[in-house]
Structure 1
Amino acid sequence: MSDQSIIRIGKEVMALQEDSDLSLAVACRDSDLRNVRAMIIGPPDTPYEFGFFEFALKFSRDYPRKSPNVTCTTTNSGTCRFNPNIYSNGKVCLSILGTWRGERGEEWSAAQGLESILLSIQSLMSGNPYENEPGFEDANGPNDKKNQKDYVQKIRHETLRVSIILRLEQFLGTRSDPLELLRHNQCNPTEDIDMDGSDEQPAPYEPFKDLCKRRFLWYYDTYLATARKGKEEVTDGQPFARMPFEGGNNSMDGRFCYGELIKRLVDIKATLDAETAGWAAEGAAAKAKEATVAVNLARQFEQSVEAFKRDGMPHNIELENGNPFAWVVTYFGKPMTNLDGGLFRFRLMLSPRFPQEQPRARFETPIFHQRISADGTPCYGVKFRKRDDVRSHIEAIIEALEEENPPYDPRTMVHPEAHKLYWGSQEDRKLYNRKLRRLVQQSME
């Protein structure tokens, strides 16, 4: 049973990693498959929008006969109850986990697995989580309507502050208030990595650190818009309203401070941009030392140039000052599309810690596109097994740029204005096309 459960867990983790779902991520150490970390990115159009919510799953030897133990670790040191079903102590109340009484057929079965658990938790993150509390499903009295609005507002605020801002400040080491950061660190326990007997302080196991940084760059404009809207709706310093089902240590208390959150979002963006820019200098030093990663990237560059020629792709790739950590791509617009005739240049910056830190791309030529943020950051995905192949990243960016009939996916909303027009009315789509064509024409001048 033990060996079979390990095989089952490994297969489920691998399947989720290979999946292109933009809202779920899982990771575990090869030596400890029974302890899985999961990240759920909050669903669009909810107060959890694009927040980073982490969970720890512990699988027993009886899995899949028995469900794993699941704990939410995004609780701000046990002080933040993000949902009626996600307690401040990390408990997740779900019938399939056996932590809540459910209807017949809703309990755990061996046919369920890691993905079904994460999707069930994600479904709790709705547009009106107030209704998740038993007895409040159909509450529609005057007080309930006000409570629903107040509840959404404070969850939206704490999603920004705790799950996004504090997390990124922790990763970047920029938080000026050590007490707040200490509380955040305490609520996000990490497993120490074996340092082979070294006396140095063990590094924490942070499998989603790079993912959160890259997704922050995707969704930065949305975060900023959310904070600015919140600042218009509530007064800074105004206390959170306590809900009827909250009490004791199982609540979400605090005060609104959207003005401060806006400043912190801007600071995080600037720090991330500076970090990315610093990779070139780090890379040049790695090249001078003939580091393995530098040699590998130089070889990949040569192979990519040859592959583009062989496949007849018109795009040009070059290294900036011969630095294999700074690739510059000139993209030629695809004929018979809105990009026809365009000449767009984007930069692909690579970290000396590649592929643990994934490439960061930025279009230098202005472009109005629903998959490219206002500052030029493209939203694209690469298969897990191809993450260490730089050419796959370039091809994925081009594929996202040229996709003619994409399925509607609000998780790709990295340019709110372009996204709204692209998926709006027929007139909206015409305006989108005009804006895109205008910049295509400018790119040729």
Structure 2
Amino acid sequence: MSNQSILRITRELSEIQRGSDLSLAVACRDIDVRHVRALIIGPPDTPYEFGFFEFTAKFTKEYPTKAPHVQCITTNGGHTRFNPNIYAGGKVCLSILGTWRGERGEEWSSAQGLESILISIQSLMSTNPYENEPGFEDAKSDYDKKNQAAYVAKIRHETLRISVIERLEDYLGIKRGKPSQVTVYNAEEDYQSGAGDAPFEPFKDLCKRRFLWYYESYLASIDAEMKKHREGERFEKMPFEGPGNTMEGIFQYPQLKERLQTILAKLNEETLGWATEGMRAVEKEMGIASNLQRQFEQIVENYKKNDAVTLDLDLVDKNPFVWRLLFFGRPMTHLDGGMFRIIIHVSPKFPDVLPRVKFDTPIFHHRVSPDGVLCYNATRKDDMRSHIEAIIEAIEEESPAYDPRTLVNLEAAKLFWGGPDQKKLYNRRLRRSAQDSAENCF
């Protein structure tokens, strides 16, 4: 493969990784940038909402003259077709990839790249994916409308079951109560360079953190769908689904809800376990413990000189893996008078595994889940100061651009992005939580 192609791929990967799009992620082994893994997070307000869909992209030496070969690997072992254009076997039908006939100007060109491919795939994950099937885009009869609703319903169920719940269960080692209907697809089969290689799971931490962000959304979706579909009700087969390329199954929402709750409990247990692991690292005088201790001391000194932000920072039980941040709301803001205690759990595998941040003091905020989990995004993942700054920015930002992927408190988000009266109610409830925080903080 030419140096020019390698440099082009490397630059594209770096741009996506540094970008602000929370719905795309890419990774590759250091030894081979030609084989890329990509994660697309399902768009909000679609049946794919906050699902984790993984793809492989294989680049030839002719890139960027020729498009890479892209395949979906979130297919339930090759048994589930998540979209008319994303087959159970993994094939992705897109004119930009040359796998589907398109109009003039829709073909691949060297001006395009991996990000444009991922965005094109993401666009297939629409509110009504039934319309993606050729010949069905103008379907308007009652029969077609019934099919559309049935198709959306089973995609929503399987997005939760396969792309979210089973993925997290595998990450956390949670055994499923009943044997899976199909064997679990081994995404390493086409990626490992030789026997004995450790599994390449570049999105494990990302999916765990996003699960904590979107837990309330998953739960709300399950509660709403349970009212529409009785347990054990079979999925309807679509006219365009054929042998070996279908989405078959039954609705199991009560079971999915229990499994969702089990995952949350296991993640919380894992987070708390970092404190014990961290103290062992301190006792063994490991480099990560010394590094975090040094970063903590430097950050404390820095904020002593910073009059713009008022906060106290200490270590819980002198453990450099558990930070306690006491944040004081700025005067003349909706947080004025607030005293919020925030716990930052740091993994011994930091920065490969990022911190998990939770409000110990209740706050009504669109970026803080009802369970206290903060949705934030640090610019420099390996720098704890960047994490502290991102935490403060997420709490204080009063006029953020609308991004539904950051809204982890559904009630607060509905008020914040509602009409003027709803926004006033949001502000009142935020101020009330700030007023109550001093009492709750101690």
Matched, 1:372 2:368: yes
- Is the Cα–Cα contact under 8 Å of residues 53 and 163 in structure 1 kept in the other structure? yes
In 2, distance between residues paired with 1:175 and 1:129?
A: 32
Map of 1:32 onto structure 2: 32
- Amino acid of the residue matched to residue 14 of structure 2? M
SS of structure 1 residue aligned to 2:364? coil
Superposed, 1:223-234 pairs within 5 Å as: 223-234=218-229
**Counterparts in 2 of 1:34 and 1:205: CA distance versus 1, 3 Å:** same
Match of 1:288 among 270, 283, 286: 283
SS of structure 1 residue aligned to 2:29? coil
Moved more, 400-409 or 65-74: 400-409
Map of 1:279 onto structure 2: 274
Superposed, 1:281-430 pairs within 5 Å as: 281-312=276-307, 313-383=309-379, 386-430=380-424
Q: CA deviation at 1:400?
A: 0.7
SS of structure 1 residue aligned to 2:243? coil
Alignment deviations for residues 275-317 of structure 1 (CA, whole Å, 9 cap, x no partner):
0000000000110100111011001101110111122332111
- Is the Cα–Cα contact under 8 Å of residues 193 and 204 in structure 1 kept in the other structure? no
Mark the runs of 5 or more structure 2 residues left unpaired by the alignment. none
In 1, distance between residues paired with 2:114 and 2:187?
A: 23
Question: Over aligned residue pairs, what C-alpha RMSD do you find?
Answer: 1.4
- Is the Cα–Cα contact under 8 Å of residues 188 and 200 in structure 2 kept in the other structure? no
In 2, distance between residues paired with 1:333 and 1:190?
A: 51
Map of 1:62 onto structure 2: 62
SS of structure 2 residue aligned to 1:71? strand
In 1, distance between residues paired with 2:58 and 2:85?
A: 19
Superposed, 1:8-23 pairs within 5 Å as: 8-23=8-23
In 2, distance between residues paired with 1:203 and 1:2?
A: 28
Matched, 1:206 2:201: yes
- Amino acid of the residue matched to residue 397 of structure 2? E
Map of 2:245 onto structure 1: 250
- Is the Cα–Cα contact under 8 Å of residues 76 and 186 in structure 1 kept in the other structure? no
When normalised by structure 1's length, the TM-score is 0.96
Matched, 1:100 2:97: no
In 1, distance between residues paired with 2:84 and 2:53?
A: 15
SS of structure 2 residue aligned to 1:303? helix
Mark the runs of 5 or more structure 1 residues left unpaired by the alignment. 196-200
In 2, distance between residues paired with 1:226 and 1:178?
A: 23
SS of structure 1 residue aligned to 2:344? strand
**Counterparts in 2 of 1:194 and 1:277: CA distance versus 1, 3 Å:** farther
In 2, distance between residues paired with 1:293 and 1:193?
A: 30
Matched, 1:241 2:236: yes
- Amino acid of the residue matched to residue 302 of structure 2? A
SS of structure 1 residue aligned to 2:45? coil
SS of structure 1 residue aligned to 2:7? helix
Alignment deviations for residues 400-422 of structure 1 (CA, whole Å, 9 cap, x no partner):
11112101111112111100110
Q: CA deviation at 1:191?
A: 3.8
Identity percentage over the alignment? 60
- Amino acid of the residue matched to residue 203 of structure 2? F
- Is the Cα–Cα contact under 8 Å of residues 35 and 191 in structure 2 kept in the other structure? no
**Counterparts in 2 of 1:69 and 1:177: CA distance versus 1, 3 Å:** farther
- Amino acid of the residue matched to residue 313 of structure 2? I
When normalised by structure 2's length, the TM-score is 0.97
- Is the Cα–Cα contact under 8 Å of residues 311 and 328 in structure 2 kept in the other structure? yes
SS of structure 2 residue aligned to 1:262? helix
Alignment deviations for residues 198-231 of structure 1 (CA, whole Å, 9 cap, x no partner):
xxx5420000000000000000000011111111
In 2, distance between residues paired with 1:437 and 1:189?
A: 53
In 2, distance between residues paired with 1:351 and 1:374?
A: 23
Q: CA deviation at 1:423?
A: 0.2
- Amino acid of the residue matched to residue 210 of structure 1? D
> How many residues are matched?
438
- Is the Cα–Cα contact under 8 Å of residues 56 and 73 in structure 1 kept in the other structure? yes
Q: CA deviation at 1:187?
A: 5.9
Map of 2:262 onto structure 1: 267
- Amino acid of the residue matched to residue 223 of structure 1? Y
In 2, distance between residues paired with 1:284 and 1:191?
A: 36
SS of structure 2 residue aligned to 1:180? coil
Q: CA deviation at 1:190?
A: 7.0
- Amino acid of the residue matched to residue 121 of structure 2? I
- Is the Cα–Cα contact under 8 Å of residues 76 and 182 in structure 2 kept in the other structure? no
Q: CA deviation at 1:165?
A: 0.1
